[in-house]
Structure 1
Amino acid sequence: MKRRMLLSFLIVNIFCPLAGAKDLTWIRWDDPPIFIFSGPFKGQGVLDTVEGELRKKLPQYQHKTLEGTVPRVLKEAEGKSQICNAGWLDTPEWSKLFYFSTPVFVIPANGILLPKSRLDEVRNLAPYSLQKFLDSKKSWKLGVGRLYGEGIDEVLIKNNYQKNPQVITISTSLRVHKMLHSNRIQYTLGYPFEAVYYNELLNSKSDFVVHIPVTENSARVEVVVACPKTPWGAKVIADVDRALQNKALLEKFEKGVDRWLSAEDREKLAPARKEFYRKNYPSLK
Structure 2
Amino acid sequence: MWLLLTSSALIAALMLANAPARAAETITWLMSDFPPVGELIDGKPGNGMADQVVRYLVSRWPQAEHRFLYANPNRVWSQLASGQHACFANALRTPEREKLAYFRNAYLLPPPQLIVRPAVLAALPVNARGEADLAALLRVPQLRGLVVEKRSYGPAIDALLGDAASAPGLKRVAPGNYGRNILTMLALNRADYTIELDFVMTHAILQSPELASLKSVPLAGGPGLLVGGIACPRTAWGREAIRHLDRLLASPEGAAVLSQAQMRWISKDATQRYGAAMKEFFRQLETPQVQEYRR
Per the shorter chain, which TM-score range?
Answer: 0.7 to 0.9
Identify unmatched segments of 5+ residues in structure 1: 10-18
2:189 paired with 1:190: no
1:93 and 2:99 equivalent?
no
What is the root-mean-square deviation in Å for CA atoms of aligned residues?
3.5
SS where residue 200 of structure 1 aligns? helix
Distance, in Å, in 2 between the alignment partners of 1:158 and 1:79 is 25
State the match for 1:245 in structure 2. 250
How far off its partner does 1:270 sit? 0.3
Task: Name whichever of 246-255 and 137-146 sits farther off.
Answer: 137-146
Q: 1:280 to 1:255 in 2, by over 3 A?
A: closer
CA distance in 2, matches of 1:119, 1:55: 45
Answer whether contact 1:44 1:256 (CA < 8 A) is retained. no
Determine the C-alpha separation between the residues in 1 that align with 2:217 and 2:252. Answer: 29
Which piece of structure 1 moves more, 174-183 or 219-228? 174-183
The match for 1:108 is 110
* Larger Cα-atom Rg: 2
- C-alpha distance in structure 1 between counterparts of 2:186 and 2:32, whole Å: 23
Query: Superposed, which structure 2 residues align to 1:198-213 within 5 Å?
Result: 198-204=204-210, 207=213, 209-210=215-216, 212-213=218-219
Instruction: Report the AA paired with residue 182 of structure 2.
Output: V
Please report how far the alpha carbon of residue 170 of structure 1 lies from its aligned counterpart in structure 2 after TM superposition.
4.9
Give the conservation status (yes or no) of the 8 Å contact 2:94–2:154. Answer: no
With over 3 angstroms needed to count, the CA separation of the structure-2 counterparts of 1:96 and 1:144, relative to structure 1, is closer
- Structure 2 counterpart of 1:226: 231
Structure 2 unaligned spans of 5+: 1-9, 289-295
- 1:1-285 matched pairs, under 5 angstroms: 21-37=24-40, 43-101=46-104, 103-114=105-116, 124=128, 126-134=130-138, 140-146=143-149, 147=151, 148-158=153-163, 160=165, 164=168, 166-170=169-173, 172=175, 173-204=179-210, 207=213, 209-210=215-216, 212-215=218-221, 217=223, 219-277=224-282, 279-281=284-286
Kindly tell me the number of residue pairs found equivalent between the two proteins: 262
Residues 200 and 123 (structure 1 numbering): CA distance in 2 closer, same or farther, change over 3 Å? Answer: farther
Could you tell me how far apart the structure 2 residues matched to 1:258 and 1:277 are? 11
1:226–1:271 Cα change, 3 Å: same
2:112 corresponds to which letter in structure 1?
N
Identity, in percent, stands at: 24
SS of the aligned residue for 1:32 comes to: coil
Identify which range, 147-156 or 232-241, moves more after superposition.
147-156
- Equivalent residue number for residue 291 of structure 2: none
Q: Could you state the TM-score of these two structures normalised by the residue count of structure 2? A: 0.73
Q: Which amino acid is the alignment partner of residue 220 of structure 1?
A: L
Q: Distance in 1 between matches of 2:138 and 2:26?
A: 48
Contact 1:113 1:192 in 2 (8 A): no
Shift of 1:52: 1.4
Which of 260-269 and 123-132 deviates more?
Answer: 123-132
- Cα deviation, 1:255-283, whole Å, max 9, x if unaligned, reads 32233322212222202213314554469
Indicate the residue corresponding to 1:16 in structure 2: none
| Separation in structure 2 between the aligned mates of residue 202 and residue 211 of structure 1, nearest angstrom | 20
Aligned AA for 2:275? A
Letter of the aligned partner of 2:108 in structure 1?
V
Paired letter, 2:258: F
